[in-house]
Amino acid sequence: MVRLSGRLGVPHPQVFSTPTSIMAAFGPIGEQSTHLKRVNPGSVSLSQVAQLDRVASDVLGGRITPEAGIERLDDIEAAPPLFGPVITTLAFALSSGAVARFLGGSWHEILAAVLIGLATGLVAAVGSRWQALGDVFEPVAAFVASFLAGVLSARVFAFSTYTATVAGLIVLIPGFTLTIAIRELSTRHLSSGTARLFAATVTFLGIIFGVALGNRISAWLAGSPPPVPDLPSLPGWSMLIAAVLAGTAFSVILEAEAKDFPWVILASLIAVLAGRIGTQLLGLELGGFVGALLVGVAGNLFARLRKRPSMVMLVPGILMLVPGTFGFRSLSALLDAQVVPAVQTGFRMILTAVALVSGLLFADIISPNRRIG
């Protein structure tokens, strides 16, 4: 906004943004014209990010007028979702099955996670059309996932309900929001960072409440799940297949343009491979630093070479590394009055988030992001 103000001849721009508002002031101190825009935080749409990037570049480059840019912004805002509810729901199921493999699940956990992810996608589809459900989407989806996991494990086939539930809810767990909050706090954007941090905390609490309620009701109706069977682990190469499938699913969920699908999949592969290498070198909590560093460098190089926003690769890559499962486990332990394990797991979550943020900041030093225009 500051660069656009300079291009349009608007004097002395000052911009302040939070997740729910944008304030902009123009003119010398004492004679400023101040504007406030109230906004609602929404989901990430990589296609809209790419289109907004093109509009800003064209206006800054003088290829279109500001009036034409405003018309294109209105068209972008009014456009329907890139993918329909059926494809998006299937993508939820596909991503959940892939994440179950990342969490070390067997075929039982993968199958259960696919079914749970399908249910989560259905709740999301209904919530997008029914405002009342959309306002409590995370707790309701967590309840449905936990209830379904408990009933399937008790009455159909035995599996780790924890692994399947986390995998089925992975798209909802706000690990990415937590990571962005830590990054904003690290770069002195204190108001926005604090707001995102508490938003992530509230979302975590809502998910934990839904999971706890689903566990209780499923145990009451179907009985307690049996012991988890000792099943053979899947081969290592299945991790690469899971990364490709997760990248494909995230391309749909994040509404990437078709030409960006290969780059989203590549970001997922880089995150998985680099994260595994980093874990072997630095340990589980700090291993994300290597993954975030390589994803950040790849995203910045992509932006400079392809003249497109780095978020196309950064968002899906970081989603593969986020510490959301630690936060889920920490709050679950608190619910069970296991204070010491909860504190230990919470600390690991924060340490992992800091490692990811450090990797992204180092990536900006090694390979600076492109300037729009």
Tens of pLDDT along the chain (373 residues)?
887 887 777 888 888 888 888 888 888 877 788 888 888 777 778 898 889 888 888 888 888 888 888 899 889 888 888 888 899 999 999 999 888 888 788 888 899 999 999 999 898 888 878 777 777 888 898 899 889 988 998 888 888 888 888 888 888 877 677 777 877 887 778 888 888 888 888 888 888 888 888 888 988 888 888 787 777 777 878 888 988 998 899 899 888 888 999 999 999 888 888 888 887 887 766 777 888 889 889 989 998 888 888 888 888 888 887 654 554 555 555 555 555 566 666 667 777 778 888 888 888 888 887 766 5
Pull the structure tokens for residue 249: 């699913």
What does the alpha-carbon distance between residue 348 and residue 333 come to, in Å, rounded to a whole number?
14
Burial of 44 (0-12, 13-18, 19+ CB in 10 A): middle
The pLDDT, as a whole number, for residue 321 is 78
Task: Give residue for tokens 């209105």.
Answer: 74
User: So where are the chain's domains?
Assistant: 1-40, 43-80
What does the alpha-carbon distance between residue 80 and residue 222 come to, in Å, rounded to a whole number?
41
Residue 66 CA, distance from chain mean position:
32
Pull the structure tokens for residue 125: 């589809």
The pLDDT, as a whole number, for residue 29 is 78
What does the alpha-carbon distance between residue 305 and residue 327 come to, in Å, rounded to a whole number?
36
The pLDDT, as a whole number, for residue 111 is 92
C-alpha angle 206/212/214, rounded to 5°? 100
Beta carbons within 8 Å of 291's beta carbon, 6+ residues apart = 270, 271, 272, 274, 275, 278, 317, 320, 321, 356, 359
Name the DSSP letter for residue 219: H
The pLDDT, as a whole number, for residue 261 is 92
Residues present in the chain in total: 373
The pLDDT, as a whole number, for residue 90 is 93
Nearest Cα residue to 353 out of 252, 204, 248, 206: 204
* pTM score of the predicted model: 0.82
